[in-house]
Amino acid sequence: MSDHETPVYNADAEKETILKSYRALLRACKPNIDKGDKKQIRLAFDIALEAHKDMRRKTGEPYILHPLSVALIVAEEIGLGTTAIVCALLHDVVEDTHLTLDDIEKTFGKKVASIIDGLTKIAGVFDQGSSLQAENFRKMLLTLSDDVRVILIKLADRLHNMRTLDSMPRDKQLKIASETAYLYAPLAHRLGLYSIKIEMEDLAMKYTEPEIYNELSEKLQQTKRERTKFINEFIEPIKEELDKQECKYEIKGRSKSVHSIWVKMKKQGVSFEEIYDLFAIRVILDTNLDDEKAMCWKAYSIITDFYHPNPDRLRDWISTPKANGYESLHTTVMGPSGKWVEVQIRTKRMDEIAEKGYAAHWKYKESAAETALDEWIHRIRELLDNPEADAMDFVDEFKLNLFSDEIFVFTPTGELITLPSNATALDFAFEIHTDIGSKCIGAKVNHKLVPLSHKLLSGDQVEILTSNKQTPKEDWLNYVVTAKAKSKIKNALKEEKKSVAEDGKEILERKFRHLKIHFNTDNINELLAYYKIPTSLELFYRIAKGAIDVQDLKDFAEDKGSIKARVTHRVEPHSLEQIVKHVRGSSDMLVLGENLERIDYKLSPCCNPIPGDDVFGFITINEGIKIHRVNCPNAIQLMSNYAYRIVKAKWTNQQQIAFLAGIKITGIDQVGVVSKISKVISSELKVNMRSISIESIDGIFEGTIMLFVHDTHHLTKLIQKLKDVQGILTVSRIDTSQKNNS
């Protein structure tokens, strides 16, 4: 610690904390570390300690604790070796202190310097929030092709930031949490780091949807005791049989994460109490490589001797591992007292790969998963090599390919091809070869003729039909899900656009010659400004297609070969920066409800915010500010990609204005139930209904009601009253706007 440290902090206690963290790090590297390695780690620690000595984190603690924590995650939770640990300790020094990359290369060699260079390039990128996140994410992925450890250390860095997010202001918390859910968690998932992915999702949810997170965490805590009792009862007979057969094994029972429970509740439209598989049992077998498959099926056979399996819920990722190397056998069985239980069966090697992802692959080089991962990285490189891809498209396509489950399909010769689920015959064609994709006119799936848009299923055998006359069409983009197919189609369309634009250019040149106007940049720019077209390519294209008629240039005054638009009322729109500046003013907080006329804002139809909701403003280019709820389905993407266009917002107290909200009701179909509902709504709370639709199926009804309320308190009170009506089973607010209420 430096001598001039402020006396508020206890220097001795801090020294002790730092040493404790350092010792924990050494313990974590113990299994695979020799003397030379230890020296390197010590040296890196000393350099980092000295470089960061006067720095503190937002929490007030010494900065060095951050690189130490990141190094511990890298060693313990990802399982990387000395090089990565050294890089994790030094990951902030080049950016934040006087040390240079040359200094690091002299001390630790080229490899460490190049990884730190990669980390420095992507460091400020996410944390400044000034430029577009998508472009930065793309830059970050470029480093994948150099050394995947850059990304792994970056994930560890982000995980530690998420664990210490409490000390940040609310708007920063939302931005960082959204970004984590949008980009980092899927990346961890794709690299096979499941436990890190789960923790990131849970932590992100803790900040973006605190109420739901706390409620579910509490419920999990309350039911923990009975779950443990149930798990012990469930595994007792299985243990006995495995012991009898002299198998080496370990059995773990673990709860599902808060985030995955919430996703399931939303997807299935059920309450916490109705989710049947709150936990999974994992059977981990200790066996050699050759016997792995046989042993897993043996364990499956033992488990299903005691409990009936659900035939629809068997997943065999041992015969065909997932693209990120995940191998396991999943089944769901009917346990004691009529509860479904998910059981995962795998070996020690498979478990390590599932937990530590890419890092564990180096340990088991001969594993087939290695090639699958290389293939995935190769696909990303293909994406990155496409110079014309728009950054936002890139992130969305990358995410598509990150999140998707896979299907396995076959070529006519029996070769296995892995594609994301929902892939079509056209995706398959582009996967085989760009030329085949571009000329594809249809396909035969299992010897039956199908169109290009036909969705493939696992096990399909696909033959592509081509024609030399075929070229990619605009609507093909609606038929494909793989990033490769999308980027190839876009490229082809761009090329076609260029050749059409060439014709348009000739038409314009001829017209200019005829009118004795110079064909130069100034004149072209004048046309672009007048027609509000961004590029000359687009202008020429529209002329060729007849969308712009240049026969008549009467809106322009011509003087010595130069043209000027006569119309003065075509004012250039404000730049986005000016709009942002004007909206933000000096307060940086948008107050909704006062001075309604001062700022033009709209309530976004995708989540129908009402006063009382936690909201933010998103500055659009043409429609003023759109107000979204913080837990709106689109919020995460907006916050992580356009952080600079987000304005904090809060409601003032407004009783006189009514806002549209939707509620969904289910119940038992009884005579007069509709009139009971409308009575509660109209007479008891003086609420105006906009629409009500109720469907009854086999004695159960389901209804959607759109009504006007003042704020969330008002809505909650109404929902409570409706729940008290006899025969009503559930009442909930609709999260996204219904299509029929526009």
Q: Which residues are catalytic?
A: 95-96
What tokens appear for 667 in the block? 């119940």
720 to each of 680, 725, 728, 730, 732, how far by Cα in Å? Answer: 11, 9, 11, 10, 10
- Cβ atoms 275, 220 nearer than 8 A: no
Q: Do 441 and 465 contact (CB within 8 A), yes or no?
A: yes
Element (H, E) at 617: strand 615-619
For residue 295, what is the enclosing H or E element? helix 292-306
Query: What CA–CA distance (Å, rounded) separates 357 from 7?
Result: 44
Measured on CA atoms in the order 245, 249, 250, 252, is the torsion positive or negative?
negative
Encoding tokens for residue 530? 């007048």
> In degrees to the nearest 10, what's the CA dihedral of 168, 174, 176, 181?
140
Sequence-separated (6 or more) residues with CB below 8 Å from residue 148: 191, 358, 377
Q: What letter would DSSP give residue 64?
A: T
Buried b (16+ CB within 10 A) or exposed e, 205-237: bbbbbeebbeebeebbeebeeeeeebbeebbee
Compute, in degrees rounded to 10, the torsion defined by CA atoms 632, 174, 400, 156.
Answer: -150
Are the CB atoms for 329 and 343 separated by under 8 Å? no
Structure tokens at 712: 């969330």
Separation CA 83–CA 107 (nearest Å): 13
User: In 6-28, which positions are buried (b, 16+ CB within 10 angstroms) versus exposed (e)?
Assistant: eeeeeeeebeebbeebbeebbeb
For 175-237, the DSSP string reads: HHHHHIIIIIHHHHHHTT-HHHHHHHHHHHHHHHSHHHHHHHHHHHHHTHHHHHHHHHHHHHH
Four-residue CA torsion sign, 389, 395, 401, 402 = positive
How many whole angstroms separate alpha carbon 223 and alpha carbon 667? 27
> CA 321, CA 588: separation in Å to the nearest integer?
50
